[in-house]
Amino acid sequence: MARKKSKPLDAAFVLFDVFYEDGSRSSNRRVPTELLGGIDGDDPALEAIQEQDRVIAERSGKPPLTIRSVVRAGDAEKQAARQAEKASRRG
């Protein structure tokens, strides 16, 4: 008898990589999936991560860092690989 494929699990969180103005990076930051999608796409993730950073900064006593960009986890590596491939074709 053939085995049925299992249905994909609904993930409660989406992971994001955060790049800061000072050049640092924070990987695998969790954002609830219910905030994402729709017309805004991943834009609400920035607000959620800024709120997380504000809470962290408040607890640590340090000012929060300025976020340069937010990218879904794994997408940053794909973009870097594409840029490296383009650069190798040019030169």
* Total-model pTM: 0.69
The per-residue pLDDT for range 65-76, each reduced to its tens digit, is: 999 999 998 876
Q: Any residues with CB less than 8 A from the CB of 1 and at least 6 apart, and which?
A: none
Residue 6 lies in a domain: no
Q: Which range marks the domain in which residue 33 is found?
A: 15-90
Residue 1 lies in a domain: no
Total domains, the chain: 1
Structure tokens belonging to residue 25: 């990076």
* Burial group, residue 18, by CB count within 10 angstroms (0-12, 13-18, 19+): buried
pLDDT bracket for residue 17 (50, 70, 90): very high
Residue 65 lies in a domain: yes
Q: Summarize the confidence of residues 78-88 as an average pLDDT.
A: 70
Residue 63 lies in a domain: yes
In the block, residue with structure tokens 């954002």: 31
The per-residue pLDDT for range 20-66, each reduced to its tens digit, is: 999 999 999 999 988 888 778 888 999 999 999 999 999 999 999 99
pLDDT bracket for residue 16 (50, 70, 90): very high
* Sheet bearing 67-72, strands edge to edge: 25-32, 13-20, 67-72
